[in-house]
Amino acid sequence: MKTSDVIVSFRGVRKTYDGETLVVKQLDLDIYQGEFLTLLGPSGSGKTTCLMMLAGFEFPTGGEIRLEGKLLNNVPPHKRDIGMVFQNYALFPHLTVEQNVAYPLGVRKVPTAERAQRVNDALKMVRMEGFARRYPAQLSGGQQQRIALARALVFQPKLVLMDEPLGALDKQLREHMQYELKSLHEKLGVTFVYVTHDQGEALTMSDRVAVFDKGIVQQLDSVDRLYESPCNEFVANFIGDSNRLRGTIAAVDGEYCEMHLADGTRLKGRNVAGAQAGASAIACIRPERMKLANGSRGNGANALAGEARGLIYFGDHVRMRCGLPQQDECFVKVPLGTEALDGFAPGQPVALEFAPEHLRVFA
C-alpha cells in the first residue's frame, strides 16, 4: 500500500486517565484507504481506547490523530464523518428500524426525500428491508446488529469503526456474521477498523492486524505473516495455539540457533530475537507443525521424546496432549485416520518431529 493511500494516521499518541499510567503509549499507526484493519489484544491492552480516540469519544493526552490530513484531536464525534457500530448495538428502542437508520441523516440535515432512499438502500445492503417498521425489541440479536451496521453506513462515511460488534452473538451466528461483514467490506470498499479480543475473528476478516499488549502495538502485519512469523513470544502465544519449550541458546548460526533443553535435547530454530549464546530462551511452535514420528524417538533434525496423555476431538482432527521432560504439556494436531492413533492409550511413549524453520526462538 502506498503512503498516499493513508486515510488515518496516529503520531506519538498517548492516553492516560489518571495522569500517571499510560493506557496507550506512543502509538504510531497508519490506516490505509479501503483496508480492513483489526485492533486485537487482551482486555486492558489499549485497543478499545485507540478506537474511542479515533471516534471522538475519548481525547488523546498527547500526540496527533489525523483523518485525511485533518487534525481530529478536538473535533466532536458528529463532525468526524465516521460510522460507529457498538457491541450493544445502541439502537433507540422507541424508534422503528427505519427511524433508527435515518437518525444520522437527520443530524446531518439530509433532505427528507433523499433520506428515505438512502435508508432503503442501507437496509437492502444488510438484507433487512422487510423489517423497516419493526422496533428493536422485535428483532433478534443478529438482526439488531445488521440494523446498527446499516445506520453506520447510511451517511456514506469515510471510515467505519466497530467495537466488538459480534461479541453478544452465539458462536454459529457470530461466524456467519464474520463472513457477511467481510463480504460487505469487499463490496463497498469502505475502510473498516475493527476491535476484538477474538483471534479467530481477526484472522478470518482482516487485511492487517495490530496486536496490542500493555498499550503498545507488538506487531502490525498481514494475517498470514502474523500467524506464521510472530515477532515475539506474546504474539506467538496470543495468535492461535502455540507450544512453548524452555532452554538455553548453545550456538548461533546466521538466522538460526541451537537450543539445549534441560533434559539434554538439542533443537535448531529461527533466532527471531537475535539472542546470543548462553542466553535463556523460549521457543514456540504451532501444533500443526509437529508430527508423530515412528519409534520412540524421531530421526528428524528436531526430535522430542515424550508420553501421550490424552486426545481432544475436533471433528476433522484430534489434538494429542503430550508430556515432555521438564517442560509444559504440548499439543500435536493429528489427522483422523492416522495409524499412530490405532490402539491409543494414555502413557504410551511418543516421538515428535518438526522442521527447524517452524521453531521460533525468543530470548
Asked if 323 and 310 touch (Cβ cutoff 8 Å), the reply is no
Distances (CA, A) of 2 to 5, 30, 69, 92: 5, 11, 15, 40
pLDDT at 213: 96
Kindly state the average pLDDT of the residues 285-301. Answer: 75
- Total number of domains constituting the chain: 2
Bridge partners (DSSP) of residue 350 are 306
pLDDT at 1: 56
For residue 335, the enclosing domain spans 241-362
Asked if the model's pLDDT at residue 159 lies above 50, the reply is: yes
Asked if 36 and 189 touch (Cβ cutoff 8 Å), the reply is no
Shared-domain flag, residues 144 and 230: yes
Shared-domain flag, residues 59 and 38: yes
pLDDT band for position 174 (50/70/90)? confident
Number of C-beta neighbours around residue 26 at 10 A: 15
CA-based torsion, 252, 211, 200, 234: positive or negative: positive
Shared-domain flag, residues 217 and 317: no
pLDDT band for position 298 (50/70/90)? very low
Q: What is the CATH number of the domain that holds 275?
A: 2.40.50.140
Using a pLDDT cut of 70, give the percent of the chain over it.
Answer: 97
Kindly state the average pLDDT of the residues 62-86. Answer: 92
Asked if 145 and 166 touch (Cβ cutoff 8 Å), the reply is yes
What is the distance between the alpha carbons of residues 300 and 298, in angstroms, rounded to a whole number?
6
pTM of the complete model: 0.88
Shared-domain flag, residues 168 and 277: no
Shared-domain flag, residues 98 and 230: yes
Asked if the model's pLDDT at residue 177 lies above 80, the reply is: yes
What is the distance between the alpha carbons of residues 60 and 55, in angstroms, rounded to a whole number?
11
pLDDT digits (tens, 9 = 90+) for 315-349: 888 999 999 999 999 999 988 877 777 778 888 89
Residue 184, classified by CB atoms within 10 Å of its CB into exposed (0-12), middle (13-18) or buried (19+), is middle
**Which cell goes with 29?**
499507526
Query: How large is the angle between the packed helices 112-125 and 97-107, nearest 10 degrees?
Result: 130
pLDDT at 69: 94
Q: What is the CATH number of the domain that holds 156?
A: 3.40.50.300
Shared-domain flag, residues 84 and 210: yes
pLDDT band for position 295 (50/70/90)? low
Asked if 283 and 244 touch (Cβ cutoff 8 Å), the reply is yes
pLDDT band for position 100 (50/70/90)? very high
pLDDT digits (tens, 9 = 90+) for 128-151: 999 999 999 999 988 998 999 999
Using a pLDDT cut of 90, give the percent of the chain over it.
Answer: 73
Shared-domain flag, residues 300 and 229: no
Shared-domain flag, residues 313 and 329: yes
pLDDT at 300: 57
Domain end: 234, 258, 273, which one? Answer: 234
Shared-domain flag, residues 228 and 255: no
What is the chain's Cα-based Rg? Answer: 25
Domain end: 193, 216, 234, which one? Answer: 234
Shared-domain flag, residues 181 and 211: yes
pLDDT digits (tens, 9 = 90+) for 7-34: 999 999 999 999 889 999 999 999 999 9
Kindly state the average pLDDT of the residues 274-285. Answer: 92
Query: What's the mean per-residue pLDDT of the chain?
Result: 91
pLDDT band for position 242 (50/70/90)? very high
**Single-letter amino acid, residue 191:** T
**Which cell goes with 282?**
523460549
Kindly state the average pLDDT of the residues 276-304. Answer: 82
Shared-domain flag, residues 257 and 129: no
Domain end: 234, 266, 281, which one? Answer: 234
Nearest residue to 118 via CA among 133, 103, 131, 139: 103
Length of the chain counted residue by residue: 363
Residue 362, classified by CB atoms within 10 Å of its CB into exposed (0-12), middle (13-18) or buried (19+), is buried
Shared-domain flag, residues 197 and 278: no
**Which cell goes with 110?**
439530509
Asked if the model's pLDDT at residue 46 lies above 80, the reply is: yes
Lowest-pLDDT choice from 46-50, 119-123, 168-172, 316-320 = 168-172
**Residue labelled with grid coordinates 521457543:** 283
